[in-house]
Chain A
Amino acid sequence: EDKVVQSPLSLVVHEGDTVTLNCSYEVTNFRSLLWYKQEKKAPTFLFMLTSSGIEKKSGRLSSILDKKELSSILNITATQTGDSAIYLCAVNSGGSNYKLTFGKGTLLTVNP
């Protein structure tokens, strides 16, 4: 059974801090790892990492895939209150249909 584990489950920081969120996975046939941000409602896409694209960056957010360690990190620098959200990690384990296995998420709270 495919498994995706995120840590920590929750995190409280102050504005301006840098945070690192972790995601580890055990899947039968890794294809890609995705990060999503979920505020009030629907998750929104942040990054997709594959064997051919192991590092992505967008503004203050960046993510790295470590295929040897079967893990990924999501870094957020100079955090803002608007970064408060649940961050979801998901892994695509391939097969004939493309299904994602999600982790339980990390709840990030950024206090002013």
Chain B
Amino acid sequence: NAGVTQTPKFQVLKTGQSMTLQCAQDMNHNSMYWYRQDPGMGLRLIYYSASEGTTDKGEVPNGYNVSRLNKREFSLRLESAAPSQTSVYFCASSEIRSGQGRNEKLFFGSGTQLSVL
């Protein structure tokens, strides 16, 4: 049971280059998230997808786009990378139950260390 899998683990880009971070979960979770983590800033939400077919902006969406390809996969794209996007990126998923219960507990991937020169 792999949980949440992110690729790549490390990436170095030049300013202006584009790339896509991939994320997949095998827990049949409805909701998926992309966070970035910077020193002294904690985890900040970039985009999230509450369910397949929907995406919404988080706290710091500028410079990013996302695609919820299917229930398992949620990708994050940098169209024109900037040095300010140097960060560690985490994908996460959670099971949001409708009706009586809910579960906010997030399961995180192992992260992508991105450097933009």
Q: Is the CB of B104 within 8 A of A31?
A: yes
Bound-state CA distance A99–B43 (Å) is: 12
List, in ascending order, chain A residues with CB within 8 A of B94's CB: 98
Q: How large is the interface on A (under 10, 10 to 19, 20 to 34, 35 or more residues)?
A: 20 to 34
List, in ascending order, chain A residues with CB within 8 A of B58's CB: 99
Listed stretches B14-22, B62-70, B73-81, B106-114; interface member: B106-114
Q: How large is the interface on B (under 10, 10 to 19, 20 to 34, 35 or more residues)?
A: 20 to 34
Bound-state CA distance A32–B101 (Å) is: 13
With A97-B31, A98-B96 as known contacts, state yes or no: A48 contacts B42, CB within 8 Å: no
* B56 contact from A34, A88, A97, Cβ within 8 A: A97
Q: Is the CB of B42 within 8 A of A43?
A: no
Bound-state CA distance A48–B94 (Å) is: 14
Bound-state CA distance A103–B97 (Å) is: 25
Bound-state CA distance A31–B104 (Å) is: 9
Most central of B41, B44, B45, B106 by chain A CB within 10 Å: B106
User: Could you tell me which residues of chain A, from 48 to 96, have a CB within 8 Å of some CB in chain B?
Assistant: 48, 88, 90, 92, 96
Bound-state CA distance A105–B40 (Å) is: 8
With A97-B31, A97-B50, A103-B42 as known contacts, state yes or no: A45 contacts B90, CB within 8 Å: no
Q: Is the CB of A34 within 8 A of B42?
A: no
CB proximity of B95 to chain A, nearest CB, Å: 10
CB proximity of B20 to chain A, nearest CB, Å: 20
Bound-state CA distance A1–B102 (Å) is: 23
Q: Is the CB of B104 within 8 A of A32?
A: yes
Q: Is the CB of A99 within 8 A of B110?
A: no
3 interchain residue pairs of minimum CB distance: A42-B108, A104-B42, A102-B43
Chain B residues with a Cβ under 8 A of chain A: 4, 31, 33, 35, 40-45, 48, 50, 56, 58, 90, 94, 96, 102, 104-111
With A42-B90, A97-B56 given, name 19 new contacts (CB 8 A): A31-B104, A41-B111, A42-B108, A42-B109, A42-B111, A45-B106, A45-B107, A48-B104, A48-B105, A88-B42, A96-B50, A97-B48, A98-B50, A98-B102, A99-B58, A100-B45, A100-B104, A102-B43, A105-B42
